[in-house]
Amino acid sequence: MPSSILPLVAKQLLTDIEKSYKERSQLPDDLLIALRSVFGSCALQALDLVDQRSVTCVSSPSGRRVFRVLGGSGQLYTCFTSCHYCPCPAFSMLVLKRNTSLLCKHILAACLCQAMGLSQQEQVSDQDMTRILSGQAHTDL
Ligand SMILES: [Zn+2]
């Protein structure tokens, strides 16, 4: 996890998940329980997104990388796991305004997919990446 602002316990948990998933290709119950106690209800929703393969890791030749997460409503969100930002309403409400959550289900799903190596991979040109980052390509990619 590069330059993370997540609390140490959350980071450690993702590291444990990565290790455990590599060894056994599944998540043991204790990690699932830990995930739930750290991230609350958004943990289960994030795991659903992972199950549905809703996360795509988009990378460009220059090494930029973002995650695109298909939300339950069919909306595509561009998430940055490096700075933990997501443009969804839940993120601005629960994370930025009320400060009651660490992150939204989309970012958590992206972090989990990254840890477990389950995200779909997509290569785009640097030009397309710039369009994605500037928010001009929400639907046409
Ligand atoms: Zn979100």
- Output the CA 98–ligand 1 centroid distance in Å: 15
- Output the CA 100–ligand 1 centroid distance in Å: 14
Q: 136 falls in which pLDDT band (50, 70, 90)?
A: low
User: Is residue 51 a part of any domain in this protein?
Assistant: yes
Is residue 30 over pLDDT 70?
A: yes
Domain around 92 = 8-133
Is residue 82 over pLDDT 60?
A: yes
User: Is residue 141 a part of any domain in this protein?
Assistant: no
- Output the CA 107–ligand 1 centroid distance in Å: 6
User: Is residue 112 a part of any domain in this protein?
Assistant: yes
User: Is residue 1 a part of any domain in this protein?
Assistant: no
User: Is residue 26 a part of any domain in this protein?
Assistant: yes
Tally the domains of the chain.
Answer: 1
Helix, strand or coil, per DSSP, at residue 126 = helix
User: Is residue 32 a part of any domain in this protein?
Assistant: yes
Angle at 88 between CA 30 and CA 60, to 5 degrees: 85
Summarize pLDDT for 33-75 with one digit per residue, the tens.
999 999 988 999 999 999 999 999 999 999 999 999 999 889 9
**pTM attached to this predicted model:** 0.86
Residue 71's Cβ-side half-sphere holds a number of Cα atoms within 13 Å equal to 18
